[in-house]
Amino acid sequence: MSTSVVVGAGRGIGQAIGEDLARACPGDRLVLADIDADLVERVAATLRVQGVEAVARHVDVTDEKSVQDLVAETAEADKVAIAAGIFDSSPTLDVTAADFERILRVNTIGCFDVARRYAAGMAASGSGSIVAVASVAARMPRMRQAAYAASKAALRQSLRVLALEVAGSGVRVNTVSPGPTDTEMMRQLASDHASVDDLADGSLLAFRPRIPAGRVARGSDVAAVVRFLLSAESSHVLLGDIVVDGGELLGM
């Protein structure tokens, strides 16, 4: 039996990844972890009603002991998706060092810590796949997102280095970079638009290009790509970063 772990599975893209894996691999053990224990338990409970072997666990990616405990409990995991993250939007001239550090602590250092600890166990067993959720903000400057963009760019590059070092041990590490996606976090971002869906139209004021596909992503769009990267079908894909943005970056 395969074991999949989704970190940050309580809401948004992480929840979509967990639900997608449950549908695609109903016989596998699924561990859903999140800093909000009650929230992720509700997600797991819904899946259990559907016959999925889903368990919920608390994890705080900024707490090394918390991460160590989760990794030790799920040492057999061969597929790990990391979708934990926080977002803040404020004018760059107003961002404090504390603001910057808080976002880096979760989005970069915390997520990297999860990835490297699982990678160590997978390397010892000779196989495994890890996928983390980055962002197109790692490539394209976003107004009022200096800390967030930096955190995702740093995560993407640090995981590439990790991927290089563990590839010879049969471990694959990749990232997926969503564009605007209809999640609670994205609704916080859409303050310069009437709705999340209106982000597809772009904004000259926000220096945001139009999305050629004509819509923002759904969590399921991102989850499908994560599932592919975790699966054996992507066995020759590593150090990759698959963009799921409806063409917003124009393929750059």
Planar angle of CA 178, 183, 188, nearest 5 degrees: 105
C-alpha distance from residue 177 to each of 102, 181, 187 (Å)? 21, 11, 18
118 included as an active-site residue: no
Structure tokens at 213: 């596909």
Give the sign of the dihedral formed by CA 195, CA 201, CA 205, CA 209: positive
Helix (H) / strand (E) element for 5: namely strand 3-7
3-state secondary structure of 244: strand
Exposure string for 14-44, b = 16+ CB within 10 A, e = fewer: bbbbbbbbbeebeebbbbbbbbeeebbbebb
DSSP β-bridge partners for residue 175: 132, 241
Q: Which residue among the candidates 12, 145, 148, 180 is catalytic per the annotation?
A: 148
Helix (H) / strand (E) element for 3: namely strand 3-7
Give the Cα separation of 50 and 166 in Å (integer): 36
Residue 232 is given by DSSP the state G
DSSP 145-192: -HHHHHHHHHHHHHHHHHHHHHGGGTEEEEEEEE-SBSSHHHHHHGGG
Catalytically active residues are 148
